[in-house]
Chains A and B, each alone.
Chain A
Amino acid sequence: MAEDTFLADDLLRQLMSVGEVDLLVGISSHDADNTISHAVHAIEQSFQQHFVRQRVVIVNVAGEVKDGDGVVATGPGKLVEKNVRLPGITSLRTVQRVTATFSIPPSSGIALRTILAAADLLRARACAVISPATSNLTPASIANLLRPVYREKFDFVAPLYARHKYQGLLARNLLYPMSRALFGCGIRELYSDEWGFSGRLAALCLNQDVWHEEAIRARPEAWMAISAISSDFRCCQVFLGEKSQALKGPRTDIVEVLRETVGTLFWCLETQQPLWLDGERSQPVPTFGPTHELTSEPTDLDRHRIFEMFRSGVTELEPILSSILDPETHSEIKSIVSLEEEKFRFKSGLWVRTLYDFAASYHHAIINRDHLVQALAPLYRGMTHSFLVEHSDSSQAEMEAASEMLCAEFELQKPYLRERWKAKVEVKS
């Protein structure tokens, strides 16, 4: 029963007043304290500059905030009239605001579910989700997320960023090539803080019985993209400029990030088996704006420590790794551990097999799945170290070529994953 009525009455009443809309922008402000007003301001400016005629609504999903900025977006009544006005330009219609308040800050998954429900009920044509915790949210970037859906009839819009050379290595070395090989979609930023989607994708996702799953609690966006692909919906990417830095500082807790991203990706492999296991599917993903840009200011990286953590991890976790990895893969990894730091390379073939072993073991639930994902951390560090050494002087083109080769490797070894996936469960302690 609780499942059937997860939308609060108060929110429903607000939605009733809003009625049908063309555009919806959702903000999940669960971990943002003082940034809502900044985000709301950017969205309103975006509407005023780019969508003056459209019926628009801002949906803010927030934990209860006593005072401060959380109040800005609450209660559509009296605050709605105080829309920001740009000189000379103004939306023809009221920019409506809706706030879904939760007694405790909701997770991204719950926030997204609320936003999707609002989008579905309001029959929004184009939607975007943004995180107020990003610092350089501009009106143009919000418009860029909405436009392909609203005007070009795309169903999922992933962002692309200008990045530092060493930024986003998990995306570059794992998430992007693996999802591209398995799901046939070349979305570079499968995990991001902002993305766009269509009303019909919102309805599709909303009606799936997955909302209690741990995997989409923290980062549901990749699951949304993969759902779009599995239903043959159109996906695209838009260039949004520099990668937004989270206001609370960059997230470098690798275990946490792995859990949120790789965990979800593995879970998607599990739930979307027909998509990659039995058939080949490939969807071109058009890109608006430059495909990617790299910058390379010097950074303060401790390569030695990364390598040490890889080495100690592989040694200490041997029993765990042996249960996850294929014996051959495992022994290869053990052999490279003993190499000297400067000679050490994590070859792409080995890396791909390692990941496929992990994916298969995740599928067979060889050990606790959370533990399994955690056990990937040292190996990821190894790959990172290898990448840093290999590409310390690489140009953008060289890095891109390497990335393409890695993608090809993932593609090449797909049969290996299929084989291990379908193999009979062999449980080790």
Chain B
Amino acid sequence: MRQTILQGLEQVYSNLVHMIADFLPRFLVMLIIIVIGLLVAFALKYIFRAVLGLTKLDRVSEDAGASRVLRMAHLPSMTELLSRAIFWVTWIAFILVGLSVLGVAGLQEQISRLFRFLPEVFVAIVILFLGLVIANFLSRTALLAAVNAGHPSAKILSWSIRFVIWLLAISMTLEELGVARQTVISAFSIVFGATMLGLAIAFGLGGQDLARKCLESYLGDTKKEKDKEPQPL
């Protein structure tokens, strides 16, 4: 009996030692991979930042208005953003590779699922973010144009534009995530929404001036009234 227990303990101990002997090197390998990954990610970040600096990406993004959007979202400059993303993507990749070295059952599958789902989440976030920014921008454009043209219901116009774009953005986000597909489709089979959005986006992005002029002319011929204002210059 005692012998059996001792044998069992010995067996367990031996197994444990074996497991530890088996696990420790893997763990060390993992740690090494993660540290190397960190170094590589840092190196890549700096290289990427230097290269982007040379390509004057920031100026392009400033010109395109992207920088302003980033600033409003409390985000750093485009170059910084991209180089940070590179850092994290690289490091996370190394970490995952390191984890897989551990050979933990099921973990690898979970990791690959995560990798498959990540882009969709990322795209969904981007869509939502852009939708918010565009809605904000276009509604403000409409509001300013309407107010400066002396239109009485400027706020309503502004809000309706904002609402429609939000709706579109949210539905696209849900669509991207694959959630409530039916609801989304039925909601956006409504012609009104599509038309309004098409117009708003086409005008808003296609040409602010044009949008403003169209709005102004839609809101009535204001020229006659303008003549009753003193000449500014």
Contact = CB atoms under 8 A, between A and B. Distances in A.
A and B in contact, CB less than 8 Å: yes
B71 A301 contact: no
Given A378-B148, A425-B71, A368 B232 contact: no
A316 B143 contact: yes
B109 interface: no
B221 interface: no
B140 interface: yes
A134 interface: no
Nearest to B137: A368
Given A312-B150, A370-B208, A429-B72, A384 B229 contact: yes
A300 B224 CA distance: 11
Interface in B155-209: 155, 208
A317 B63 CA distance: 26
Interface size class of B (residues with CB under 8 A): 20 to 34
Interface string A357-386: 000000001011011001101101100100
B226 A253 contact: yes
Which 3 residue pairs spanning A and B have beta carbons closest together? A302-B228, A170-B232, A166-B230
Nearest to B73: A427
Given A367-B140, A381-B229, 5 more contacts: A169-B231, A191-B233, A250-B231, A309-B148, A429-B72
B101 interface: no
Interface of A: 164, 166-171, 191, 212, 250-255, 257-258, 261, 299-302, 305-306, 308-309, 312-313, 316-317, 320, 365, 367-368, 370-371, 374-375, 377-378, 380-381, 384, 388, 425, 427, 429
B232 A252 contact: yes
Nearest to B72: A427
Nearest to B146: A316
A316 B7 CA distance: 86
B225 A305 contact: yes
Contacts of A375: 144
B18 interface: no
B136 interface: yes
Contact of A168 (B208, B225, B232): B232
Nearest to A262: B232
Nearest to B154: A316
A294 B16 CA distance: 101
A407 B71 CA distance: 34
Nearest to B212: A255
A306 B229 CA distance: 7
B113 interface: no
B140 A371 contact: yes
A385 B227 CA distance: 15
A300 B228 contact: yes
21 contacts: A164-B231, A167-B231, A168-B231, A168-B232, A169-B232, A251-B231, A251-B233, A252-B226, A254-B226, A254-B229, A261-B233, A300-B227, A300-B228, A302-B225, A305-B229, A312-B147, A367-B72, A368-B137, A371-B144, A375-B144, A381-B229
B229 A301 contact: yes
B61 interface: no
Nearest to A171: B233
Contacts of B208: 370
Contacts of A305: 150, 225, 228-229
Contact of A320 (B63, B68, B140): B140
B74 interface: yes
B141 interface: yes
B231 A252 contact: yes
A312 B71 CA distance: 30
Contacts of A380: 232
Contacts of A171: 232-233
B72 A316 contact: no
B215 to A, nearest CB: 12
Given A316-B154, A371-B140, A425-B71, A302 B147 contact: no
Nearest to B74: A427
Given A261-B233, A365-B68, A425-B71, A252 B143 contact: no
Contact of A378 (B68, B71, B147, B226): B147
A253 B74 CA distance: 35
A327 to B, nearest CB: 19
Contacts of A299: 230
Contacts of A378: 147-148
Contacts of B229: 252, 254, 301-302, 305-306, 381, 384
Interface in B91-115: none
